[in-house]
A and B are shown apart, each in its own frame.
Chain A
Amino acid sequence: MSETESNGYSIQEIQSGNQSEFAKLIDAHSNQIYRLALKMLNNPQDAEDVLQNTFLKALQNINKFEGRSRISTWLYRIATNEALMIIRKQRPEVNLNEVEDDDNYSVNPPIQLIDWCCLPENELLSSESKLELENAIQNLSETLRIVFILRDIEGLSIQETSQILNLTETAVKTRLLRARLNLREHLSAFYGDRLLARSKE
């Protein structure tokens, strides 16, 4: 079953101007777009702007969609560009085109070597832990964060992520590994303290 069939809307109908089908497309994909925007911008108002602009542009350009990618990938691409545009406008000092030595597949070796996987789920996902998860992802550079969001949170493939970001697959893999290891270090420090606190109780 294709993505559009499983979501209950028809691209053909949308392209011929059927508004009710476009409404179904919005409900099928708006959570994904809003989540991406919120994680990239960390601000509900900016995330709402990205959401609105993404679907406005999708509506204006739906006839240019040729079905060469999944419609969700096409929407993610629009949303990513919208989010990066807001970052450029608000913080021009951020270098979004930075070439992070992407072809040099090297990373910093892990420092935190504490096994915190044994912590119970209610502790791993307590409100304090969720705040820390958010802090950690916001501490990543924008160029690493967007790769982690698309690949690991939204579950896109390396190929889809590279198409959305106009990067080589090698560059996506390098950034993904750096993002994952960076988050692991951050969380290991946090959960390692939780583990220590539990052992003293």
Chain B
Amino acid sequence: MVAHENCQSMLLFLSDFVDGELNQDFCMEIESHLAQCPDCSIVVDTLRKTISLYRNSSLETEQVPEDVRERLFKCLNLEEFTNK
């Protein structure tokens, strides 16, 4: 990943590649590079995993605590709508 020219240029398109935003030809070019380059494959796989770990762990667990919600409704003078 560090030394090879193809690896360097792939790095710049890494985000677009993992987001599926590259055109088909470019995508195939990168996939054929990945098939021959274990280091770049690791970078792509661990990058995808990094993103999914953040997304899943944050969305599941970080909710507004009930007392925070109550104070929010109070400061907006919406106490009567506190019960969902």
* Complex contact B50–A155 (CB within 8 A): no
A31-B64, A124-B53 given; A115·B73 CB < 8 A: no
* Complex contact A155–B64 (CB within 8 A): no
Interface-lining segment among A74-82, A83-91, A160-168, A182-190:
A182-190
* Complex contact A52–B71 (CB within 8 A): yes
B23 interface hit (Cβ, 8 Å)? no
Q: Which A residues are CB-close (under 8 A) to B69?
A: 30
Total number of A residues with any Cβ neighbor in B under 8 Å: 49
* Complex contact B54–A184 (CB within 8 A): no
Question: How does the 8 Å CB contact mask read for B63-84 relative to A, with 1 for contact and 0 for none?
Answer: 1100011011101101001001
- A109 CA to B51 CA in the complex, in Å? 18
- Which chain A residues in 97-116 approach chain B with CB under 8 Å? 105-107, 109-116
- A20 CA to B46 CA in the complex, in Å? 45
* Complex contact A20–B81 (CB within 8 A): yes
Q: Which A residues are CB-close (under 8 A) to B49?
A: 116-117, 124
* Complex contact A137–B54 (CB within 8 A): yes
Pull 10 A–B residue pairs with CB atoms less than 8 Å apart, ordered by A. A19-B78, A26-B78, A31-B63, A55-B76, A107-B11, A152-B51, A153-B59, A184-B43, A187-B46, A187-B53
The chain B residues found within 8 Å of chain A, CB to CB, are 1-2, 7-8, 11-12, 14-16, 39, 42-43, 45-47, 49-51, 53-59, 62-64, 68-69, 71-73, 75-76, 78, 81, 84
**Which 8 interchain pairs have the tightest Cβ spacing?**
A23-B81, A35-B62, A177-B15, A34-B64, A184-B50, A115-B42, A109-B2, A117-B49
Given contacts A109-B11, A116-B46, 11 further A-B contacts (CB under 8 A): A26-B72, A26-B73, A31-B63, A31-B64, A35-B58, A51-B64, A110-B11, A110-B43, A183-B50, A187-B50, A188-B46
